Amino acid sequence: MELSLLRPTTQSLLPSFSKPNLRLNVYKPLKLRCSVAGGPIVGSSKISGGGGTTVTADCVIVGGGISGLCIAQALATKHPNATPNLIVTEAKDRVGGNIITREENGFLWEEGPNSFQPSDPMLTMVVDSGLKDDLVLGDPTAPRFVLWDGKLRPVPSKLTDLPFFDLMSIGGKIRAGFGALGIRPSPPGREESVEEFVRRNLGDEVFERLIEPFCSGVYAGDPSKLSMKAAFGKVWKLEQNGGSIIGGTFKAIQERKNAPKAERDPRLPKPKGQTVGSFRKGLRMLPEAISARLGSKVKLSWKLSGITKLDSGGYNLTYETPDGVVSVQSKSVVMTVPSHVASGLLRPLSESAANALSKLYYPPVAAVSVSYPEEAIRTECLIDGELKGFGQLHPRTQGVETLGTIYSSSLFPNRAPPGRILLLNYIGGSTNTGILSKSEGELVEAVDRDLRKMLIKPNSADPLKLGVRVWPQAIPQFLVGHFDILDTAKSSLTSSGYEGLFLGGNYVAGVALGRCVEGAYETATEVNNFMSRYAYKSM
């Protein structure tokens, strides 16, 4: 479990449509507006009689959030011949989507996602972006805490901790052990929610004291509605493959032993233990580094207003840009915008695909960054005289509104001035959509009120407010039936003849930043395979 409570999504594009005059009769070079990292480029273009501009591309990636940028870099590094003429379009004037890092008066804080798990695909993206020396990793031995009965209790980090941690009773531990071994009710033969799966396999205490706050931490979601198969597929597969969680674990270990070992990229750093990562100047360094490498391929302030299928194959995308209307004719398209934005853009192509995508739900979440003096931390929360750890999660039954708190200044270096503690708090989610009606001051008051119940001394001075960022549609919920919705959307596009039009982003790959990166490599492979078939058909 990681305490990064928000995960990145791509930036919304303008969901409106127009049908510009596409009569093309004049050829001449045009200088196109591009990203800050790259200067103007000169490319072959057509100017229509109505003053519009047309350019061509092998692939257009719609959305300059972390998913879109990583797909572009994956194509450039893993499949360099597939899409040499690549464009990434972003509606805003910056890249990164929901990744927002701010720095002021000695503080460095995040207002979206906070960190990532340093998997090999993630580390590959980091190294290929030139950020290996800027990578920072949290202490793998740092504890994580869950609030229970008014006390912050450590979560077990290794097997030897299980008999001794006080978050669960002896009876709850025994029930979890027997259930993990397979001594529990059989699966119901239908898709289970997270709550149903965990209560059946591991018992009530594991659900109420570990998994329910974990769902708040990852999805800001309601575990009675989240799909176990879609939201936590790796654990779900253990029971499917091995008859029980323990049986599936042993089987997976054996399969890994028998499988041929792929040589690990020697360029990649080797993290020690289970930890999380960021960068010296925050998460923003990753999208900015990728954008700089892509250079003029990234187009900022390009708002997509419509997409149509060309009779000759491929797609025409119409953009409103600072330099006027631009039409891009592309062999392939990857949509990495949020599902509700993709729904509006794709509706003229496929009503059923649009209807499916419109069903996905994104609850609101606020990221509230505050600072206290070191002496404000309760003595019982200090370890060796310091606040140590990743952070804390709060079950909904414990009488606090805040979902969880990250100890930002303890987790990564140079996040706060000497003598200050920086805390990133998340509030809202599926079970608390009322945050949208609260002011910034009210959100800070709610967070401060909660923290004084377990972490901050009650008589401490008011916190220093650094940043409050409210995301009205923050994290896609992988509810029961999520995969069916995705399958319907994808199959509707394919059956309607829209090959080469791909869906990507966190509602497809997963909400964690690391899953967005892993999904980017998967999508890049799909695009490469399509372009190989496209080239063959064109011969």
Query: Are both 118 and 88 inside the same structural domain?
Result: no
483: which 2 tokens?
A: 């995969």
Higher pLDDT, 11 or 217: 217
Q: Which domain holds residue 449?
A: 101-142+362-471
Q: What is the pLDDT of residue 48?
A: 43
452: which 2 tokens?
A: 């004084």
Query: Are both 253 and 164 inside the same structural domain?
Result: yes
Measured between alpha carbons, how far is residue 220 from residues 143, 340, 432, 491, 493 in Å?
A: 21, 18, 9, 29, 30
Q: What is the pLDDT of residue 102?
A: 98
Q: What is the pLDDT of residue 536?
A: 55
Per the domain annotation, does 202 fall within a domain? yes
Q: How far apart are CA 416 and CA 456, in angstroms?
A: 17
Residue 337 contacts by C-beta under 8 Å, 6 or more apart in sequence?
10, 11, 12, 13, 62, 63, 345, 505
Round the CA-based radius of gyration of the chain to a whole number and report it: 24
Per the domain annotation, does 485 fall within a domain? yes
Q: Provide the whole-model pTM.
A: 0.90
Per-residue pLDDT at 9 exceeds 50: no
Percentage of the chain beyond pLDDT 70 is 90
Query: Are both 308 and 333 inside the same structural domain?
Result: yes
Which residue blocks in 1-91 are alpha helix, DSSP H?
66-78
Q: How far apart are CA 425 and CA 371, in angstroms?
A: 11
Q: How far apart are CA 93 and CA 218, in angstroms?
A: 28
Per the domain annotation, does 40 fall within a domain? no
**Is there a contact between 366 and 427 (Cβ–Cβ < 8 Å)?**
yes
Q: Please give the tally of structural domains in the chain.
A: 3
Q: How far is CA 340 from the centre of its chain?
A: 16
**Is there a contact between 372 and 420 (Cβ–Cβ < 8 Å)?**
yes
Q: How far apart are CA 274 and CA 284, in angstroms?
A: 23
Structural domain ending residue among the three candidates 223, 258, 293: 258
Query: Are both 193 and 114 inside the same structural domain?
Result: no
Per the domain annotation, does 446 fall within a domain? yes
Structural domain ending residue among the three candidates 438, 471, 504: 471
Measured between alpha carbons, how far is residue 70 from residues 33, 334, 517 in Å?
A: 21, 12, 6
Q: Which residue has the tokens 């990292």?
A: 37
Q: What sign results for the dihedral spanned by CA atoms 344, 347, 353, 354?
A: positive
407: which 2 tokens?
A: 């100890």
User: How do beta strands 101-104 and 107-110 pair?
Assistant: antiparallel
Query: Are both 461 and 498 inside the same structural domain?
Result: no
Q: What is the mean pLDDT of residues 70-92?
A: 97
Which residue blocks in 243-338 are alpha helix, DSSP H?
245-258, 285-294
Q: Which residue has the tokens 């071994």?
A: 181
Query: Are both 500 and 352 inside the same structural domain?
Result: yes
Query: Are both 253 and 199 inside the same structural domain?
Result: yes
**Segment 96-152, tens digit of pLDDT:** 999 999 999 999 999 999 999 999 999 999 999 999 999 999 999 999 999 999 999
Per the domain annotation, does 192 fall within a domain? yes
Q: What is the pLDDT of residue 537?
A: 64
Among 469, 531, 475, 480, CA closest to 505: 475
**Is there a contact between 501 and 335 (Cβ–Cβ < 8 Å)?**
yes
461: DSSP letter? P
Per-residue pLDDT at 32 exceeds 50: no
**Segment 316-372, tens digit of pLDDT:** 999 999 999 999 999 999 999 999 999 999 999 999 999 999 999 999 999 999 999
Among 163, 119, 410, 112, CA closest to 274: 119
Per the domain annotation, does 35 fall within a domain? no
Per-residue pLDDT at 7 exceeds 90: no
Query: Are both 133 and 211 inside the same structural domain?
Result: no
Query: Are both 321 and 464 inside the same structural domain?
Result: no
We report the CATH number of the domain holding residue 330 as 3.50.50.60
